[in-house]
Copies of this chain bind each other. A is one copy, B any other.
């Protein structure tokens, strides 16, 4: 049993809690939160603690999953926790990855801990595919497509517009761009070429729908450079059809070896982004405990961790039936 704890109780933290609760591998020590632990409720009766008390649990937690929301919260939390615990996180700000990995490497190594960084599907499985695809097919072009899936940032941007009662945005890969990438014509595709943004909006009764639509499609950074479709729907339709958090995407590589053409493709179709991300995070939480026991220390990404770390089985047995 792995003594396991979670920091943060949003969608990801909740999904990790349920997996830990349903698994025989994890003993869920508790959930750390910045909210008042006294007012927190878990469907599984998990204990809540104040996030500021986490250091008191040093030695009582084998692996800590960092599930707080924003990138800034997570880097600060990660650096603080890596000094005292083994950690897994799904840090996803690509632009800050270099600094975060470098600092976590230093802190985890100096304190004899093991931190897994950027564990999920992108970063995560998609990163692994990009690395493998590039590695085995040197001459070629890799393209990543996201969706169909909900973008929280874009959904929030819509909801801030006056007159919008409810709003959600789906990022949708364009079939034409997927076809181009598969046929080896993807090198010049931009993110805009590859995706369209589809919005579902519930407007207030007295709202000017044409003006809401104009504000969405012209919004700088978020929508103005994309093909954007806005649908106005009723609150009933919204609640019926847009409550889940599906996501997914594609990593494609098209290239040549010895003048012969080859295509590699990985795709995910997820009914629930947080539940799948949690599943990946929990698999690597278990691998963290295994590799820590085997003497590994420092900061590692999915690119550094061999697939064999994901199994409990005897190595040769596993190779014999999986290879």
Contacts and interface: CB of A to CB of B under 8 A. Distances in A.
Nearest to A135: B310
Contacts of A261: 271
B257 A132 contact: no
A128 interface: yes
Nearest to A311: B135
A229 interface: no
A120 to B, nearest CB: 10
Contact of A270 (B97, B132, B262, B275): B262
Interface stretch (A145-153, A207-215, A298-306): A298-306
A15 B310 CA distance: 33
A266 B266 contact: yes
A63 to B, nearest CB: 16
A293 interface: no
A135 B316 contact: no
Contact of A260 (B257, B275, B280, B308): B275
Interface in A236-276: 257-258, 260-272, 275-276
Given A264-B268, A268-B264, A283-B136, A322 B127 contact: yes
Given A98-B319, A138-B279, A310 B262 contact: no
A310 B271 contact: no
B131 A310 contact: yes
Interface string A117-152: 010000101011011101111100000000000000
A140 to B, nearest CB: 10
A39 interface: no
Interface string A283-317: 10001000000000000011111111011000111
A132 B310 CA distance: 7
Contacts of A266: 264-266
B304 A308 contact: yes
B135 A283 contact: yes
B276 A260 contact: yes
B268 A262 contact: yes
A303 B318 contact: yes
A272 B258 contact: yes
Contacts of A125: 132, 136, 264
A38 interface: no
A278 B315 CA distance: 26
B272 A260 contact: yes
Contacts of A317: 98
A234 interface: no
Interface string A95-130: 001100110000000000000001000010101101
Contacts of A320: 97-98, 101
A80 interface: no
